[in-house]
Amino acid sequence: AQRVTQPEKLLSVFKGAPVELKCNYSYSGSPELFWYVQYSRQRLQLLLRHISRESIKGFTADLNKGETSFHLKKPFAQEEDSAMYYCALSASGNTGKLIFGQGTTLQVKP
């Protein structure tokens, strides 16, 4: 079964501290992994995707197929990073539908 697990509902850190939001997936094929972010009162938007291997707003994520993980990391959290973060998987076969985790609320305290 295809599944995405985000074990933490809430992650609270102080400004300037490192951040790691965990994501594990279950899928037997070659998945495409994404991180989506939803700021307060805004729509869900793409933060980054594993195939582009880019850093957006200081965030990076590496796909680890051995551990079936795609953790999101940032070395120094900013207050404006406070938001809801969703990890998502798109299965090969390319219907394009996304399977989302439950989401993690990141709270960055001043």
Partner 1 sequence: DTGVSQDPRHKITKRGQNVTFRCDPISEHNRLYWYRQTLGQGPEFLTYFQNEAQLEKSRLLSDRFSAERPKGSFSTLEIQRTEQGDSAMYLCAIVGYEQYFGPGTRLTVT
Using CB under 8 A as the criterion, which residues of the chain lie in contact with partner 1 when the complex forms?
A: 4, 6, 9, 34, 43-46, 49, 86, 88, 95-103
Residue tagged 């980054």 (tokens): 48
Q: Least distance in Å: CB of 110 to partner 1?
A: 26
Q: How near is the Cβ of 87 to partner 1 at its closest, in Å?
A: 8
Q: In terms of CB distance, is 11 or 15 closer to partner 1?
A: 11
- Tokens 């090969």 correspond to 92
Nearest alpha-carbon partner for 65 in 99, 96, 92, 27: 27
13 versus 99: smaller Cβ distance to partner 1: 99
The least distance separating partner 1 from the CB of residue 46, rounded to whole angstroms, comes to 4
Burial class (CB in 10 A: 0-12, 13-18, 19+), 25: buried
Sign of the CA dihedral with 2 first, then 50, 9, and 19 last: positive
Residue placing its CB nearer to partner 1 in the complex, 49 or 74: 49
